[in-house]
Structure 1
């Protein structure tokens, strides 16, 4: 028997490391639907932009798997999890037994309901195969339309633009980056994008992808009746958890697979991690799916060590985005768009437009629960520590944080006492 992991992404790498720290002998089988080694999805835009080569795209070499006694089964699709026999049924009829199972199937692209969305020259942007297809065709592309003005869409658009493609981003909301950033930060980023020469259309959505009589792509008709010519359409709205296998097996599913603090699903010997798992969020204090690379690895690691018998609680998910747009660095962490009518929240902002520097801190009662930095991000790690460790913030500390002067000396004494004296509780 063996540990079996469905999914070959960053969560599976975390799980392998977690298992092998406590169990060096039991074989591990990793099953991946794609015919490629594990890669970092955030790197897809850098691959498309030509900033990294395919060798750097892969997260681990073959020696890693050999050294960890891991058997890879790539281009293998799991059709069913049989809980009674503890077997996985593949699309070709093969049965794979498991002793302990990790579901790390990640997310699948959200496909909007646009007429004509199926067909050539329409791409998703969350899989390596789509990036490679775009790279192959980019030399012949003159115009592209990217559907989605979130993080994925904006980086896809920037990557194509840097390849010399005329790009227009279409976003149905009234501004780009509406989930990860507040109005002011999104506006600053939008101005940088416009200065670079890339077009953004907000408040509209695609109605129909138009082709000529031969099937060749002509462009996209928007719901305001305007038409954008395009040689390629990129769907980059986001992802939804790929929960089909779990749902059909009878596991508890909401937005993702429900797990406890040990990443356990509640079904004997089955765990979940990564973009498919709905785990505890330390800021919102509830279970959420947070599709972030670092969270996926950490969830996988804790799932792995718990599968190996070393019980440990996952410290919790935290929403975080750290990305640059045309050279403008940004970071968004935690709760950045609270209900403005809620009296428990207090927001401090600082904006230096000439320097393109912006800071937004969100406090809830006596804690920092979120922040946005644009331009000057030097103190991001320090702000994050206040959120992660839920430090209490008095009036003086709040003032210094708001003025952009976070310091480790602001941390409470009992935190240092526990760090240096673990026996103190």
Structure 2
């Protein structure tokens, strides 16, 4: 049996390990459009900050591919997948056939159509190569602009600040981290970042990168005409799943590649996992993209098992995010923003001490939470999502956390 995996990050690596465990003699091929051995994308901002070296970003040893008898093709981008004839065409002209295919191709950073966006010194932050470029550019400037207020943008901001740059963050909305946190939690983090000299501009967008005669970034212009001087721009406008090589008439694609509970796609012998897969929510069964590391590893392992002949079921994804900015921790999971009807909310809020604890319930079931400041035992809380919690237990959770429940 020939197993081909498109993608060399969390989902692809965990799938390969599971296939090899179950099928010692089967052939495994991994194709990656990046030239790197497997590494953690979660650490790119820490690499920019100078807190971690490249070798410590690797998620497997140098001998991983050899030890597991995996054919690894770095820098080999898949250009076309013919799922009816079960073969792939790559950027170098290779034609690779398969018996089982896992699409774990991840996602790429959105590239806005920005005047001057192609200039030197303009980056997104998705890959190790992006991070290397940003580090080199930091040596040539002391000012940066970050466009976007999401988690990747703020992690990039942290990395740039740690490098000694002055950073201005331009956000179209009125709140940082609006996709993952409510206004109270976001407000605490914003004020904490401002105390560390991060400047925020809300309600505006970067419309142009100002370039010099050598096509190098000298600043940006906002939608109201304001010009900001900088030598480096990081654009954080989200990601889009890598599905361009697939025929939508052969593989069902919505926001991402649609999969069932076995991580199978609509095409025979084809599975999908990780940031490219549109799976369903553990709590509410809604279909969506859940582009976070824990979901990718779980999906990869289950997809790999099923490619090897098992019948494992994926129980659903859960939205989770954790962050630390200059010593302030925050974690959220599940229906943390409680958007929609039918939710009950309990919270404690102490802005003077950077403390916030919020629990969201749906029909007495824990549906999600946000913790800012004290995030002890958050993993246990995540495991409790979907469980029934009584009002007295809820009060105890707010006051003392999960320790109050004897856990």
- TM bucket normalised to smaller: over 0.9
Identify the range of structure 1 (375-384 vs 66-75) with the bigger mean alpha-carbon deviation. Answer: 375-384
Judge conservation of contact 2:393–2:405 (CA < 8 Å) in 1.
no
Match of residue 106 from structure 2 = 106
Q: Which of 382, 385, 391 is the equivalent residue of 2:383?
A: 385
Task: Show structure 2 runs of 5+ residues with no match.
Answer: none
Match of residue 42 from structure 2 = 42
Match of residue 367 from structure 1 = 365
Q: CA deviation at 1:9?
A: 0.9
Structure 2 counterpart SS, 1:126: coil
Q: Which runs of 4+ in 1 moved over 3 A?
A: 407-411
Q: CA 1:205–1:280 in structure 2 vs 1: closer, same or farther (change >3 Å)?
A: same
What does residue range 321-400 of structure 1 map to in structure 2 within 5 Å? 321-339=321-339, 342=341, 344-387=342-385, 390-400=386-396
Task: Show structure 1 runs of 5+ residues with no match.
Answer: 412-425
Match of residue 87 from structure 1 = 87
Structure 2 counterpart SS, 1:72: strand
Q: CA deviation at 1:47?
A: 0.8
Q: CA 1:280–1:189 in structure 2 vs 1: closer, same or farther (change >3 Å)?
A: same
Q: CA 1:366–1:349 in structure 2 vs 1: closer, same or farther (change >3 Å)?
A: same
Match of residue 421 from structure 1 = none
Match of residue 311 from structure 2 = 311
Structure 2 counterpart SS, 1:201: strand
- Establish whether residue 64 from structure 1 lines up as the match of residue 60 from structure 2: no
Judge conservation of contact 2:3–2:29 (CA < 8 Å) in 1.
yes
CA distance in 1, matches of 2:247, 2:124: 24
Q: CA 1:364–1:404 in structure 2 vs 1: closer, same or farther (change >3 Å)?
A: farther
Question: Aligned residues, how many?
Answer: 407
Q: TM-score by structure 2 length?
A: 0.96
Structure 2 counterpart SS, 1:71: strand
Structure 1 counterpart SS, 2:401: coil
Q: CA deviation at 1:405?
A: 3.5
Q: CA 1:350–1:408 in structure 2 vs 1: closer, same or farther (change >3 Å)?
A: closer
CA distance in 2, matches of 1:10, 1:119: 31
Match of residue 5 from structure 1 = 5
CA distance in 2, matches of 1:246, 1:89: 11
Q: CA deviation at 1:91?
A: 2.0
Q: CA 1:113–1:102 in structure 2 vs 1: closer, same or farther (change >3 Å)?
A: same
Q: CA deviation at 1:127?
A: 1.0
Match of residue 169 from structure 1 = 169
Judge conservation of contact 2:320–2:332 (CA < 8 Å) in 1.
yes
Q: CA deviation at 1:201?
A: 1.2
CA distance in 2, matches of 1:66, 1:237: 38
Match of residue 402 from structure 1 = 398
CA distance in 2, matches of 1:112, 1:58: 30
- Establish whether residue 30 from structure 1 lines up as the match of residue 26 from structure 2: no
- Establish whether residue 75 from structure 1 lines up as the match of residue 75 from structure 2: yes
Q: CA 1:119–1:15 in structure 2 vs 1: closer, same or farther (change >3 Å)?
A: same
Q: CA deviation at 1:113?
A: 2.9
Match of residue 19 from structure 2 = 19
Q: CA deviation at 1:110?
A: 0.9
Computed over aligned residues only, the root mean square deviation of the Cα atoms, in angstroms, reads 1.6
Identify the range of structure 1 (222-231 vs 397-406) with the bigger mean alpha-carbon deviation. Answer: 397-406
What does residue range 265-284 of structure 1 map to in structure 2 within 5 Å? 265-284=265-284
Q: CA deviation at 1:35?
A: 0.7
